[in-house]
């Protein structure tokens, strides 16, 4: 169990805390809550075949050659970017 905890802490540290200056406890809660939402709803995980943990099914593969518009969502003030195609 300790190895799992160390891996999660290391990931949070490398991806967030090494790049953002935390001012106080309230700021730390805000940053970690926003990263938690990003990690669980958007960030791909290798153990889940590149799906986020809160996704039940594999995203549909589109084979159409129609160009679609790409939307960017900024997370943590633009430190992390999420990309999605529009319909």
Query: How do residues 58-75 score in pLDDT, each as one tens digit?
Result: 555 566 666 778 888 888
- Residue 59, CB-side half-sphere exposure with 13 Å CA sphere: 15
Determine the 3-state secondary structure of 79 from DSSP.
coil
Of 39, 1, 32, which Cα lies nearest the Cα of 17?
32
pTM for this structure?
Answer: 0.64
Contact indicator for 85, 64 with CB cutoff of 8 Å: no
Of 25, 14, 20, which Cα lies nearest the Cα of 76?
20
C-alpha angle 55/69/61, rounded to 5°?
40
The chain-wide mean pLDDT, for the chain, equals 81
> What percent of the chain is predicted at pLDDT more than 70?
79
- Of how many residues is the chain composed? 87
| pLDDT confidence band for 27 (50 / 70 / 90) | very high
């Amino acid at each position: 169990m300790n190895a799992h905890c160390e891996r999660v802490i290391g990931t949070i540290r490398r991806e967030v805390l090494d790049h953002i200056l935390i001012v106080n406890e309230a700021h730390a809660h805000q940053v970690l809550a926003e990263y938690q939402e990003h990690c669980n709803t958007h960030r791909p995980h290798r153990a889940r075949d590149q799906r986020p943990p809160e996704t039940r099914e594999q995203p549909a593969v589109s084979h159409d050659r129609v160009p679609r518009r790409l939307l960017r969502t900024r997370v943590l003030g633009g430190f992390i970017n999420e990309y999605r195609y529009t319909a």
